[in-house]
Amino acid sequence: MKVNSDRDISFKSIYTNRALKRGLEFAADKGAMFAATTTLVLSATARPAAIWLAPHTDKENKKVACAKSISSSGAGYLLTLGITTPFAKALRKIDTNPENYLKSETIKFLKNGNDKLYQSKSYTLATQLFKLGLGLIVAMPKAVLTCAGMPYIMQTLFHKPNKNHETNQNIAFKGKKPNKLAQGIGKILDSKCMQKFSDKHKDSNFPMHIVAATDALTTATFIHETNRSEKIEEKRKKALIYNAGISTGLSIISSYILDKLTEKPTQKFIEKFRKANLNDPKLDKQIEGIKIAKPILLVGCVYYMLIPFVSTFLADIADHNPKLDIPHKKKHNSKLSN
């Protein structure tokens, strides 16, 4: 019996997979949107499952934690979608026609010896500040909307009666025309401060730092809003606040550890990916996508799959410990008659 020697028995097909390559291009072009989409999928499926499997934990606390997860992902996705779309278009215009938006000396500096601008580490870092930094911008409003949306999620999923019913407000995002926005971004990239910063930190783990800072800011804002909310039950606030704080703290610490442990395997994957796709014109974009997607997926998998199982259990313990009580803040509602 003749064995087909042409059969590909290696893992090369993984590196040339179309879906993977498109996903990496999406991450490279829309880092914040990639993060929001990953969060939406994991927080609506894996995180609620992990929370529900936490042992010896109050059932009502589990319901509130699940509602927070779903509300957070929904708010983050909608906010990011509205804000990142015009920025992604503007950055693509700069990628394809940098001479239309950047000064010649800026292009020369950022290229740093590379044939194409998008191959430069300095330029990649500078644009990542916009691609991932947008997630940092929406962190606070996302936390506010998460807190506001939780009572409605509780009512919808767990049939929790809601005494104070308010109509939802539609939030519209109006971005500038892509060409004008690209010109504005170009002016920022033209600045000496941005060029020095991107050149200095081009080899740093900046994507991971941005993701961690975004999570920390989101959680801090959420804790503040939860503490002063009048729609969330007072007896559920303590567990919810501890759950959020413990989840984020453990997630950031463990994600940095995993990021360090996977540094060499990731580099090997990039080398094999590069060899398998040498003739792909979008190779540099896909490799940039790997570097952006890695911290997002690491933090996402840790935060939404592993940590909830532990944090929900620990938060429930803290909830029953009087020494860990939190002084709640009340909103100061001043009714002004017109």
The residue extents of the domains of the chain are 12-163+171-324
Looking at residue 175, its pLDDT comes to 44
**Residue 177, class by beta-carbon neighbours within 10 Å (0-12 exposed, 13-18 middle, 19+ buried)?**
exposed
Cα dihedral 85, 89, 90, 95 sign: positive
Looking at residue 312, its pLDDT comes to 67
Residue owning tokens 């540099």: 284
Looking at residue 323, its pLDDT comes to 66
Cα dihedral 116, 121, 127, 131 sign: positive
Looking at residue 269, its pLDDT comes to 92
Looking at residue 158, its pLDDT comes to 64
Looking at residue 4, its pLDDT comes to 47
Residues in the chain: 338
Give the residue ranges of the chain where pLDDT is below 50: 1-10, 160-178, 332-338
Residue owning tokens 């804000």: 83
Looking at residue 335, its pLDDT comes to 43
Looking at residue 217, its pLDDT comes to 86
Q: In b/e form, how buried is each residue of 21-39, taking b as 16+ CB within 10 angstroms? A: bebbebbbbbbbbbbbbbb
**Residue 8, class by beta-carbon neighbours within 10 Å (0-12 exposed, 13-18 middle, 19+ buried)?**
exposed
CB 202 within 8 A of CB 119: no
Radius of gyration, CA atoms only, the chain:
23
Looking at residue 166, its pLDDT comes to 44
Q: Please write the tens of the pLDDT for every residue from 162-213.
A: 444 444 444 444 444 445 888 888 888 888 888 888 888 877 777 788 878 8
CB 69 within 8 A of CB 45: no
Looking at residue 252, its pLDDT comes to 85
CA angle 26, 27, 30 (to 5 degrees): 75
Q: Please write the tens of the pLDDT for every residue from 202-253.
A: 777 777 888 788 888 888 888 888 888 887 788 778 877 888 888 888 888 8
Looking at residue 24, its pLDDT comes to 92
Looking at residue 114, its pLDDT comes to 79
Q: Which residues contact 112 (CB under 8 A, 6 or more apart)?
A: 120, 121, 122, 199
